Structure 1
Amino acid sequence: MVFNESKRYYVERRIMDRMAATSNATFAHYFMFLRGETGNEVEHFINAFTVNETYFYREDHQLECLVRDLLPQRVRGRRRGEPIRIWSAPCSTGEEPYSIAIWLLENWPQVDAYDIEIVGSDIDTEVLDAAAIGIYGKRALMRLAPDIVAKYFRRLDDQHWQILEDLRDSVQFSRVNIMQSRETRPQGRFDIIFCRNVLIYFDDESRRLAAENLFENLHPGGYICLGHTESMSRISPLFEVCRFSDAIVYRRPVEDRT
């Protein structure tokens, strides 16, 4: 992740929070502590800098594209009961993978015909813990119709709702740094990857490396969805551009160019 001079206060504030939490009076002491630390401080440090802006049904035109175009393409020629794998990376506090699950249940008539596996991954362990619990406030649910909330969530109080246990159990969560192939490869290959609004925080070289890692996690013919301000064409030549009525997405060629 790249932070320019305008983010200096953002960076300093978070470092000072970690210095206080670890009882280090100076940055030099904290830096030495961080370099020699064998416990969880590196993890806490990373968590302090991740960006977790998300809500349910964000950029839902891509979800429409998922059921109208991407999934019909991926299941063509497959037998009933075969697996379909979808990866949300990064998944933050779970709104995206749970949105995918709800959207499929509501809008894809073939949802019960295949073994659908949804995986949510993030580098931030705190948001992964929150995603597994699945408790959300009004802002996270603002784009969901009341009947959808009533159908898939349990109301805890006037401000919080918890996604139903069956849905929580339908999504697997894992810690993954998409910059590290040793962490992405074990996730296996997917039919569709949602990697939205994270590459904008990387420099050009990091974007290219992340794209190459994600490419390896796609089945030939599999699709990747980026955020609406992102373009894979400016990042990596490995992918084909696919223009559908609802969204522009990118595909690993059915026959690899290599």
Structure 2
Amino acid sequence: MTRPFRFGVVAPVLTDVQTWLDQVRRIADSGFSTLLMPDVPRWQPAAAPTLAMAAAHTDLRVGTWVYASPLRPARTTAWEAHSMTVLTEGRFEMGIGTGRPGIEDEVRELGLPVTPPRARLRQVRETVAALRELDGPDVHTPVVMAVRGPNARALAVEVADAVTVATLPTDTRADIAQVARDVQAAGDVELALHVPVVGDVIAPFMASARDIDPAALRESDSLAVLPDDPAAAAEEVRRRREEIGYSYFVLGAGSAEVLAPMVAELAGA
């Protein structure tokens, strides 16, 4: 089955609130489906109230990109996610994973125990199980799971509605494409692709990563970059759906307006 295109934007609050809300409204008017928040306490207000404000001011879906399981008790995270689903009348999706590179340092700073990968995956499983219990038979909060290794991929196929493969700058298109195909072959899940670079613009919440080199990504034909020409980007997005199966594309807020014509053309198609 070919899934219709949808597009999300990771838009942390990096300005005053009114400027950010104006940006959110423009994102909504451009055809994007989902406004997303990273789970980084140092950078911005907490994800849930921020997303609730965005949902109150627009018709956008909202979601986390993504909750880091080592930082969050499973039951508390599930309660928050279920509450967001109720308050947004079904427009929330819970993104969750085992944590970005370097998460161990943040865990130590918070005085929390540093857990091995298997324990972090167990936390993800427990969170989703608690969410399903809170949702009950009549509510379903979509879960987007960020994965990399085989154990995470297996869990995602079991419990998630959509899967995004966490990529590194050294990953080739062929490597990630094969992992994505393996995931989709194992279960009926939507494939989501985070594209942190458009042209030479790096998504704001990724800009501190010193190993992101737009020119090098283009040279290696990386899936982490798209052209900043909307027509060329649209052609490449179609290619990625046809060849790999990606249908949900997540961009940084700095590129939302540049690729708005592409989104207007492809959203829902």
- Give the TM-score, by structure 2 length: 0.33
Larger radius of gyration: 1
- Give the TM-score, by structure 1 length: 0.34
